[in-house]
Amino acid sequence: MKILIVSISTFIFLLLSCSTSKTSEPYPYGSYLYRSYNFLGDLVGEGTLYISEPDSSIITGNWQIRKVRECLNCGAQFGSGILTGKIQNDSMYINLNPYDVEIDTELKGEFSSGNFNGDWHWTNLAGFGFSGTFKAYRQ
């Protein structure tokens, strides 16, 4: 009976100590060279994202992105400001306009090998918006 209890206890301990997170990457804080592309794949923005060192999976930081070419379908991703977001497994979700209730510019992507790549989405209060892709390289 003692062997059974010890075996069950060991199994439960091993089961609970396994992580469900699939990432082995260190936390992605630091500076990133950011490039955004429109839906045709043309470079439209270039700048910097800075992610502060966190206490948890919550992301905070700042950004500065300049317009490389005229882009009528790119929304409010140019200029500078603060950012907020979160990390879930190998994915990061960042909002470039967290305190603006009328617009939302989100970056959704995968964090791998020090890079953060994915899609950007801009929507206004009415739900109208645009999207494209981005690549962010850790500096």
Give the sign of the dihedral formed by CA 113, CA 134, CA 87, CA 14.
Answer: negative
CB 27, CB 46: distance < 8 Å = no
The pLDDT of residue 132: 92
CA-CA distance, 51 to 116, in Å (whole number)?
A: 12
Task: Tell me the β-bridge partners of 79.
Answer: 65
Question: pLDDT means per 10 residues in the chain (139 residues)?
Answer: 46 40 59 93 94 81 92 81 89 89 88 88 85 93
Q: pTM, whole model, 2 decimals?
A: 0.75
The pLDDT of residue 20: 37
Taken in order of first residue, the domains within the chain and their CATH numbers are 23-138 (2.40.128.120)
CA-CA distance, 36 to 126, in Å (whole number)?
A: 24
